[in-house]
């Protein structure tokens, strides 16, 4: 199971970098063709839009993994360690809850799109495929926040374990 997790995390990291590279190249290509040749490619703009969704949610998952997500931690710097870890535990649990609520709503959206058979305008791919990254990565983000909550709770119970 650990090996599978490592493969997923490696794939996740490489994918985000690759997607960002593809987005940069596609955007540069679109600008050059539009301004120098008067050509536009609707399918490329649409594809970039859906790749941006994928990159944003996958990148948010990586931010949680590496502790680089947005935090408001000005107050906890003035609290004792144990209370800091308790506050962090609740913050991580709340964040996980929000991500699982978003995942549930994404699930409802994806199943509805699959049921009605909608497809994207230019690319013609099923809409549920385009929105599936929201479902997948909100579950990943929620799971990672739960893991962080467990770590914070362990440190709140036994602060000496941090050293």
pLDDT of residue 162: 64
pLDDT at 137: 94
Query: 121, 42 in Cβ contact below 8 A?
Result: yes
Q: Which residues of 101-120 are buried (b: 16+ CB within 10 A; e: fewer)?
A: ebbeebeebbeebeeeeeeb
In degrees to the nearest 10, what's the CA dihedral of 54, 140, 138, 14? Answer: -10
Residue that the structure tokens 């997923």 belong to: 8
pTM of this prediction? 0.87
**Taking Cα atoms as reference points, which of 80, 78, 57 lies closest to residue 69?**
57
Helix/strand/coil for 88: helix
Place of tokens 């599978």: 4
pLDDT in tens, 26-59: 999 999 999 999 998 889 989 999 999 999 999 9
* pLDDT number for residue 10: 87
> pLDDT at position 131, please?
93
Phi, psi of 92 (to 5 degrees): -65, -40
CA-CA-CA-CA torsion sign (114, 119, 124, 128)? negative
Residues of the chain with pLDDT under 50: none
Nearest to 103 by CA among 75, 77, 131: 131
């Amino acid at each position: 199971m650990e090996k599978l997790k490592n493969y997923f995390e490696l794939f996740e990291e490489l994918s985000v970098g690759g997607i960002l590279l593809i987005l940069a190249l596609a955007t540069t290509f679109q600008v050059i063709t539009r301004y120098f040749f008067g050509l536009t490619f609707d399918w490329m703009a649409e594809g970039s839009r859906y790749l941006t969704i994928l990159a944003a949610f996958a990148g948010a998952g990586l931010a949680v993994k590496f502790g680089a997500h947005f935090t408001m931690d000005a107050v906890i710097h003035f609290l004792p360690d144990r209370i800091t870890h308790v506050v962090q535990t609740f913050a991580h649990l709340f964040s996980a809850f929000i991500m699982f609520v978003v995942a549930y709503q994404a699930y409802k959206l994806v199943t509805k799109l699959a049921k009605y058979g909608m497809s994207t305008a230019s690319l013609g791919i099923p809409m549920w495929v385009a929105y599936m990254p929201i479902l997948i990565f909100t579950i990943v983000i929620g799971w990672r926040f739960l893991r962080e909550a467990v770590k914070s709770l362990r440190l709140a119970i036994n602060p000496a374990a941090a050293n």
